[in-house]
Chains A and B, each alone.
Chain A
Amino acid sequence: MVESQLIEMKILDQGNKFQEPKITPNDFRDWVRKNKPRTMEDKTMDAKTAVKKFIKSDDIVSISGCSFVRIPVAVLHEVLRQGIKDLYVAAGTRSYDVNMLTDNGRVKHIDAGYIIGLEVLGLPRMSRKIVEQALAKGELTITEWDNGTMAWRHKAAGMGIPFMAVRSMMGADGFKYSGAIKVECPFTKEKMVLVPALYTDVALIHVHESDIYGNARISSGAVVEDWGKVRGAKRVILSTEKIIDTKDIRKNSDRTFVPYFYVDAVVEAPYGCHPGNMPGMYYVDIEHLTEYRNACEDITGEDLKQYYEKYIFGVESFEEYLEKIGGKKRLKFLEDLEFLKVKPGGNSK
């Protein structure tokens, strides 16, 4: 074919937050070749060690689950206690998890799908004020996406490609404040939006079950964007409710969510999603999230500071935190609530 006959791909528009990706597919391949495990080694360690080894300030980070469901709270507590800051956060459907980071000034950039709100449980006022103030001071920047394009950006990274062509974001102002590109499809001539793959430095993933090597299962509930998050991250810290035998994995391999070679650390963290909902195990601790939201009503920030002091900075470990929120009795109540055996609002503390 002579050159003049080649089809051209027309660029129609681009978002004003366009930026060159920090990690390209080839960078990622090189990283995988040099760094990712190829043998089944015991990767179990405590949250403290995992965070020390595998996350640092300035990292691009993604977080598992959605909102306050299957989020890696035990690991996030360590991230806060170890003073990690200036994070670039992938935030499709985020809520309490990313609030913990923004409330404490640990985030410099957000790729936003959904932030700040607690969905049905309301909009924490102080968290919102902190974000607004950080934006005004230029300490925080936000690039707009939506929950669909964020899921596709993670998926593209998981596929090892640089972008995904989708039909979302057209006509929306989100496009203007995004890093997306609008093109004419060379095949169909229809307009398409290209969203860049989001490769991350580290993914913090909480699951139901894993063996000591990181062969892991999400045993119940929505998978959200987690498959792409795990597969598109240079490093993966996997926290798990339970450690299971590899024999069990091999016997039921259709239930494996990701195999060992994606995973760098396995942290055993029972109730590691509290106050969130771990589908099939325990439900949302509504009272605790209400306590958090109420602390956010004080827009001097004093109550919120005390909340974090009480539950995170003033404790040594997640086990100590679990005692503070009401221990076994409270956790048993949340397990019963998950299976509709009790009604919410019961005083189990």
Chain B
Amino acid sequence: MSEGYNEMELMTVIASRELEDKKIIYVGTGIPMLVTSLAQKTRNLEITPIFEVGGIGPQIPTLPLSVACSRTTWRALRVADSSEAFEIAQSGFADYAFLGGAQIDAYGNLNSTVIGDHDSPKVRFPGSGGANPFASFAWRTIIIMNHEKRRFVEKVDYITSPGYLDGPNSRERVGLPPGTGPYRVITTKGTFDFEEKSKRMRLFALNPGITVEDIIDNTGFEIIIPKKVRQNEPPTREELRILREEVDPYRIILGRGEG
């Protein structure tokens, strides 16, 4: 991008602004680690990160490479195990969780398992990991995705982690804890929420330089466009400095947004 930051940096900064203070946050592999770390450093938030294999409340010193690596238990409050970490979420302590995927639909259902037939797939991805339990238990999930038409599809090939399934009350109908579900989708083009009645994805804010037409052209389902659309402010110098110098100095994740 010509404005002096790449798309990965933009999404990380926008997502970090969505985090609320005094919350418990489940952090997965990749961008979520950057987002959490950036929010802690730029906004001085009092948040408790939990990693799915046991790290509870660490003071993350440098970008973790795995949800289990020693950075995820660095000066932690407790080191637990996987079942305990998921049980904490199952019991209602997970305020936020981050998700991503290869495909998403209008209801925020995500696919990170297969393209094509499950048993003989065209493409096989790593699968759920912790995503499905996060999507099941967290009060609010924040989804971070590259915004491309082939990823924003009418119907995902496979629901790895449930969003609002096929509309209102469908989560409750299948037995998921009430009051949970996708909260925001943060993409390379903008921020999205879910319309209260239909539970379909709605444009919330446009990223710098992006138009409503860009959104419609790059979305494979009918997206709700509200009358008034907000604008996401570009990353500040300070946000970028901290992100580049302190959060991911070796550009392990940020480097993916290049070119």
Contacts and interface: CB of A to CB of B under 8 A. Distances in A.
Nearest to A218: B79
Contact of B175 (A151, A182, A283): A182
B250 A146 contact: no
Given A66-B68, A120-B253, A93 B129 contact: yes
A141 interface: yes
B167 to A, nearest CB: 12
Interface in A282-320: 283-284, 286
Interface string A134-170: 0110000110111111111011000000000011111
Interface stretch (A53-61, A74-82, A172-180, A243-251): A172-180
Contact of B67 (A66, A220, A338): A66
Contacts, number: 229
Contact of A120 (B52, B113, B252): B252
Interface residues of B, number: 62
A259 to B, nearest CB: 17
A277 to B, nearest CB: 5
Contact of A147 (B52, B80, B165, B171): B52
Given A67-B66, A119-B65, A220-B70, A135 B121 contact: yes
Interface in A113-144: 113-117, 119-121, 123, 128, 131-132, 135-136, 141-142, 144
Contact of B53 (A93, A135, A171): A93
A36 interface: no
A280 B127 contact: no
A168 B69 CA distance: 25
B174 interface: yes
Interface string B33-53: 100000000000000000111
Q: Which of B69, B73, B124, B253 is the most central at the interface, judged by chain A CB atoms within 10 Å of its CB?
A: B69
A284 B69 contact: yes
Interface stretch (B4-12, B82-90, B193-201, B222-230): B82-90
Q: Which of B61, B124, B125, B131 is the most central at the interface, judged by chain A CB atoms within 10 Å of its CB?
A: B124
Given A144-B113, A173-B113, A227-B81, A279 B175 contact: no
Contacts of B175: 167, 170-171, 182, 190-193
Nearest to A136: B120
B86 A70 contact: no
B68 A67 contact: yes
B81 A146 contact: no
A69 B51 CA distance: 14
A167 B136 contact: yes
B53 A222 contact: yes
B165 A69 contact: no
B160 A68 contact: no
Contact of A225 (B63, B83, B177): B83
A172 B132 contact: yes
A345 B54 CA distance: 28
Nearest to B166: A171
Q: Which of B63, B137, B158, B175 is the most central at the interface, judged by chain A CB atoms within 10 Å of its CB?
A: B175
A7 interface: no
B53 A224 contact: yes
A107 to B, nearest CB: 14
Contacts of A123: 125-126
Q: Which of A65, A115, A174 is the most central at the interface, judged by chain B CB atoms within 10 Å of its CB?
A: A174
A13 B14 CA distance: 40
Contacts of B82: 66, 92-93, 147-148, 150-151, 222-225
B252 to A, nearest CB: 6
Nearest to A168: B133
16 contacts: A69-B70, A114-B127, A116-B125, A120-B65, A144-B127, A147-B129, A147-B133, A148-B130, A167-B136, A167-B137, A174-B128, A222-B51, A222-B82, A224-B68, A227-B81, A340-B61
Q: Which 3 A-B residue pairings sit nearest by Cβ, starting from the closest?
A: A191-B175, A222-B54, A148-B133
Interface of B: 29-30, 33, 51-55, 61-70, 72-73, 79-83, 86, 90, 113, 118-133, 135-137, 158-162, 165, 170-171, 174-177, 250, 252-253
